[in-house]
Structures are given as structure tokens and as C-alpha cells.
Structure 1
Amino acid sequence: MTVAAKSSSPPARKRPFWTMERRDSLAGYLFIAPQMIGITVFVLIPLGLVFWYSLHEWNVLAQTFRFQGLGNYQTLLSDPGLPQVLGATAIFSVGLVIFNMGLALLLAVLLDQKLKGITLYRTLFFSPVVVSLVAWTIVWGFLLQNNGGINALLATFGIEGPNWLRHPTTAMISVIVVQVFKNVGLNMVLFLAALQGVPRELYEAARVDGTPAFKQFTRITLPMISPTVLLTSIITIVGSLQVFAQIAVLTQGGPGMSTTVLVYYLYQQAFQFHKFGYGATLSILLFVVVAVLTFIQWQMRRKLVFYEN
């Protein structure tokens, strides 16, 4: 009986290939495929090629492409101009981050008030963000000339303005100011959106307790918008390390090397001196600096971001 029953049982049904689980997985892969293809083609492959080029001595004019291992990295460590370049990069980045974020937060707090015509002011402060970067920089180049508009305005008050772009100190200050005014509107909008998300009940309770306005800002506003502060700091620092057009149009890295930041120095080595291998090595250095600074900021989020505590 048992043998007969086993022999008469129907064979096990074969599981179909296109199961619901596999269809869902395929749909997910198709949705992320465009982004993964873009990251692979425009990020991972170029990054690998840059590292490969950094291991070679590549001179386009001489049509030479020789493998030299870590030779470019040894040149990097002994480059006499690199400390000054890194110093200029640090000064520009620190100045840009402090003034950009400070001014953006101040404007956001002011524009968060319910005043008549406030929309017009928001538009005016944000409009430089959408202006062409090169056009913006060229206009400021004319304004900052020795006989430009800024010195003409100072002359009406009896002040003799300096040659802004021909002195090391004023040249760096000028480049920072031009960049701050260009992009402060973007951070302002981010801060403004964060401020509008802070519950008003917290301020009402603080006013009932007699808390001064400054303490309300430090104890309520800053902690509540701390995630946005972290985001804007990362964006601003990464952007400050990638500045190029302003330097190329306004100062060409001068006077001397006072405004030669890392990206412009990379451009000079690769496209002016035709040392593409060494330029690729500087690109690797830039990538490492950006990655390390971003990682440090991200790790500090537990101390700086209210929601991470």
C-alpha cells in the first residue's frame, strides 16, 4: 500500500523562473541602473584613469607616456611650491566658509520675518546664484580694477582705494568676497527652509519663560537647524576646494602665488606646463583632501547635530 501510494503521487511542480521576488528585484535594478551607469562612467572609471595616469610621465607636446611608478608622488612631496599652494587653499576655504555661512545664516534669520515685500528681498539675494559664473566674475573684475567702480565709489568719500587684484592680501580678500556674494543665496535658502521648519511653540514657550532673544537663537534655533548647518558646511567646504573660474578670471593665481589654490595649480601643471601625469597626481591629492574633510565632518555629526545626540 505504501509503495503504491508513493508511486501514484504526482511529481513535484517545477518552480517558475520569473517569480514575484525576481520580478521585484529586476524592477529595482532597472530603477537604479541609470544612476549606477552614470556613477561608473563619470566617476569610478575617470577616477581609476586618473590614478593610472598619476603613475606615468605624460607629456602631450613631446608625445611621451612612460611608466614611472611612484615618481610623481615623490615629486609631490618635494615640490617647493606646494606648501604655498596648500596655504592659499586653506586661507581661501576658511575665509569662504566663515563669511558665506555666517552671512547666509544672518540673511536667513532676517528674511524669516513676516515683513512687507520680503519675497522681493529673498529673490534679490538669491539671484546671483543663477547668474553665469564667468559673467559674474568678469563684472567684478572690472569693479575691482585700480580705476574701477569700487575705487571710484571710495574716491567720492575721499578714500584712495588699493589696486585690489595686484596686492597679495587684497587679492585673496577680493576673490573670497566675489565667491561669497555669488553663492551666499544658496545657503541662505537652505537655512531659510530649516528655520521655517522650527516649531513656533518652542519660541512661545521660551518667551513665556522670559528667555532673551540671543538665548532663543543658541538654545532653540541652532540645535533645530543643526542638520542643515552640517549639510551646508560640507557643500561649502567641498565647493571652496574646487574653485577655479574666479581665480582664472580675476588673478590667474597671482600676484606671485598668493591666490594659487590647489585646483588652479593642478590646471597649470596639466594644461599650461603639459605635465599631465603630475596633474593627475595633484588630482589624487585633491580627492584625498576632500574625502578626509568630508569624513571628519560626518564623524563630528554626533557632537554637532541635535538629532544625532
Structure 2
Amino acid sequence: MATLTARVAKRRSSTRFWTVRRRDNLVGYLLITPQLVGSLLFVLLPLALVGWFSLNEWNVLAGTFEYVGLDNYAKLVADQQLRDSLSATAIFSAGLVVLNLTLALLLAVLLNQKLRGTVVFRALFFSPVLVSLVAWTIVWQFLLQPSGGINALFGGGPNWLRNSGTAMLSVIVVQVIKNVGLNMVLFLAALQGVPKQLYEAAQLDGAGAWTRFRRITLPMISPTVLLTSIITVVGSLQVFAQIAVLTQGGPGTSTTVLVYYLYQQAFPFHHFGYGATISVLLFLIVGALTLLQWRMRRKWVFLET
């Protein structure tokens, strides 16, 4: 009898512990565990290792791993070629962001009209997003050759990828054409969510097309503008494959952006510690620009307080 009473009491205690709320919490934790483990192994752990490597000098060929403290960061401050790569990165990012967002918004506004063939053009402009980046870049490398592609079509032209005045512009245009379709689709979705009544009321009040666009369209799609600007800025700072295939950082160092300079230091030159230091710098730049855009959103994003 005592044993039976003890079993009943134990079962009741177990039932009280596994409440509905605790069961729901357990299910939630189990569902996020794979993502959490993946983030720890493939995001946080690599970040910590990069920080550690930046404090050391690792020579793979000699098999040495020496702690150097802040020497790599001191080298970072004195590196003139790093300043050149930062300048090239700024030029590339500014050109890419301005051209990409402007062209994407223009295409979205045009394709938002009720005209014949808009579905075909939407697919046409979005299709480059689906193409392999390396394959896309190799095709454009052929098109931009001095005696082929574009120059052959127009009967001559500059050496697009070996001229310091056109190399950076060529890389920017190739990247804009590749990814403009993604931002176009995001803008198009935002435009279709703008209430038609606002345009009708503004038109009755005598507002022109430009006024309606500036006073209604831009404020209503401003959250999407914020999203696309953050995505585009972060993407522009991480460009690598286009530079590696098209220009290899040349002519000279005119297209040696930060990520390509990082690659040069870490792999061809085997300065892994200094390469990790440049990675830390890149992380700080991306984080600072993202935070700056996020903090500034209250000044121009609609409904932000």
C-alpha cells in the first residue's frame, strides 16, 4: 500500500513538473538547437579564431606560430597599400550602391505599370541573379576584352579591364547588372503595397507625378529602401570573385579592394596573421556602417519613431 501511494505521488509530481508551458518551451529549444549549434560552430567560433590569429604570426610554410600581440594592428596603421585598398573599396561601394539602388527603383517603378509584357521584362531583369557568379564574371571578361565582345560590336574601344580609368567602372557595371534584379523585385513588392487611394487623393489635389513619387511613394517604401541599402552596402564590401576573375586587383592597385587585399596577404604572401587582422578591420567597417544606417533610419524611414 505504501509502495502504491509512493508511485501515485511520484506520478503526480512528474505531471506537475511537465506543464504545458514547459513542454512548449522544450519543443522551442529543440527546434532552435540546430541553428544555434550551427551559429556557434560556423559564425562565433570562426570570429573568435580570427581575433586570436590576428594576435599571432602564422607561417604555414615554415610551420611556425608566434604570438606577436598588437604588432599586426600597428602594421595595419602604417600600411600605405591598405589605405589604397580602402580607397578602392570606398569608390567601388559608392558607385555600386548608387547605381544599383537607383536603377532598381527606376525599373521597379516602370515595371509596376499595367503594361503588356511587364512579366517578361521582370523575368529578364531578375534572371542574372540566378546565374552562377563565376560563370557570369567569366562571360563578362570575354565581353570586355580589347578585341572581342563589346569592342568588336562597336568597331573598337578601350581596354576596359587594363585601363585604370575604366577598370573600376567595368567591375561596378558588371556587378550592378548581376544583382540589380534582386533589389528590383524587393522594390516592386513594396510598390504594390502602397495604397492606391493615396495616389488618387493626391491627383485630385493637383499633385504631379514627381510630387506623388516624392511625397507618397518614397515615404511608403522607405523601409524597403533601408533593407536594400543595408544589403547592398554589406555586399559591396565583400566583393571578391569579380575582382579575382576580371582584374586581379589591377591595373596596379586601382581595383584592389579590401577583401582581395586580404586574400593576397593571407594566401599568396602567407601572412595569415596580418590577413586575419584585415578581416577584423573589415568586420568593424561592416558593423559600423550597418549600425550607422540602422541608427539613421528614424530620420527618414516612414513610421519610425
For normalisation by structure 2, the TM-score amounts to 0.94
* Partner amino acid, structure 2, of 1:81: Q
The answer to whether the aligner puts 1:162 opposite 2:169 as a matched pair is no
The answer to whether the aligner puts 1:176 opposite 2:172 as a matched pair is yes
The answer to whether the aligner puts 1:238 opposite 2:208 as a matched pair is no
1: CA distance, partners of 2:300 / 2:58 = 45
What is aligned with 1:3?
Answer: none
The answer to whether the aligner puts 1:114 opposite 2:114 as a matched pair is yes
CA offset digits 1:209-254 (Å, max 9, x no partner): 1100000000000000000000000000000000000000000000
What is aligned with 2:5?
Answer: none
Matches within 5 A, 1:128-207: 128-155=128-155, 160-207=156-203
Q: 1:303 aligns with which of 270, 294, 299?
A: 299
Q: How many Å apart are 1:202 and its aligned residue?
A: 0.5
What is aligned with 2:18?
Answer: 18
Aligned residue pairs, count: 294
* Partner amino acid, structure 1, of 2:304: E
Seq. identity, %? 71
What is aligned with 2:83?
Answer: 83
What is aligned with 1:269?
Answer: 265
The answer to whether the aligner puts 1:59 opposite 2:59 as a matched pair is yes
Q: How many Å apart are 1:65 and its aligned residue?
A: 0.6
What is aligned with 1:280?
Answer: 276
2: CA distance, partners of 1:105 / 1:300 = 21
* Partner amino acid, structure 2, of 1:192: L
1: CA distance, partners of 2:25 / 2:192 = 39
SS of match in other structure, 1:57 = strand
The answer to whether the aligner puts 1:125 opposite 2:106 as a matched pair is no
SS of match in other structure, 1:122 = helix
Q: How many Å apart are 1:20 and its aligned residue?
A: 2.4
SS of match in other structure, 2:57 = strand
* Partner amino acid, structure 2, of 1:63: G
What is aligned with 1:99?
Answer: 99
Q: Which moved more, 1:217-226 or 1:16-25?
A: 16-25
SS of match in other structure, 1:58 = strand
Q: Which moved more, 1:25-34 or 1:54-63?
A: 25-34
Q: How many Å apart are 1:135 and its aligned residue?
A: 0.7
2: CA distance, partners of 1:21 / 1:285 = 44
CA offset digits 1:265-286 (Å, max 9, x no partner): 0000001101111101000000
* Partner amino acid, structure 1, of 2:148: G
SS of match in other structure, 2:203 = helix
Alignment RMSD, CA only?
1.2
1: CA distance, partners of 2:13 / 2:266 = 62
For normalisation by structure 1, the TM-score amounts to 0.93
The answer to whether the aligner puts 1:292 opposite 2:288 as a matched pair is yes
What is aligned with 1:48?
Answer: 48
2: CA distance, partners of 1:189 / 1:132 = 19
2: CA distance, partners of 1:46 / 1:291 = 16
* Partner amino acid, structure 2, of 1:182: K
Unmatched runs of 5 consecutive residues or more in structure 2: 1-8
